[in-house]
Amino acid sequence: MTKSFVLALGAIGEGCINGLYPLLSEMVASLIPLLDDKFPLIRSISCWTLCRFRKYIVQDSGHQKGYQQFDAVLTGLLRRILDTNKRVREAACSAFAMVEEEAAEELAPRLEIILQHLMCAFGKYQRRKLRIVYDAIATLADAVGGELNQPVYIKILMPPLIAKWQQVSNSDKDLFLFLECFTSVAQVS
């Protein structure tokens, strides 16, 4: 039942946002705990569904309750980026990248914790899934711009990227994606 509810909510989310608007706060609040569900499929679908409501979640962050909900969504997605299940990690990282695009400068106060999670994922993900992390890092750099250019953030971000650069061969299929990520970071640093 939960799986069907969350899927249906995500499926109608973007198309029916105006009709759902009065209920969105409650709906998002009911989805947040599902990020920690015992079933990986529920965690994965919850990531996807929450990202479908990203515009509302970010827009609503201007007042106290909305800010708390925005923060809960971000921290929940960051936890799932390091999930034990690879499908959940993939869904969370993709959802987080979409939220990053929408949130932009709203992410600045949380940059340190975001970078710590993304760089932990950078070291944990295998090659195919690493593409999603490249995208999330590049999207973050594009979203927050010069906010990223602070020594504490550079110290978290650059050592793993430089180490990866030294490992990537010129014939690596992911070289272009890695360089795109690296370029986004370099442009704001």
pLDDT digits (tens, 9 = 90+) for 171-180: 888 889 999 9
Interval 32-50: pLDDT, tens: 999 999 999 999 999 999 9
Interval 61-105: pLDDT, tens: 777 788 899 999 999 999 999 999 999 999 999 999 999 999 998
HEC per residue, the chain: CHHHHHHHHHHHHCCCHHHHHHHHHHHHHHHHHHHHCCCHHHHHHHHHHHHHCHHHHHHHHHCHHHHHHHHHHHHHHHHHHCCCCHHHHHHHHHHHHHHHHHHHHHHHHHHHHHHHHHHHHHHHCCHHHHHHHHHHHHHHHHHHHHHHCCHHHHHHHHHHHHHHHHHCCCCCCCHHHHHHHHHHHHHHC
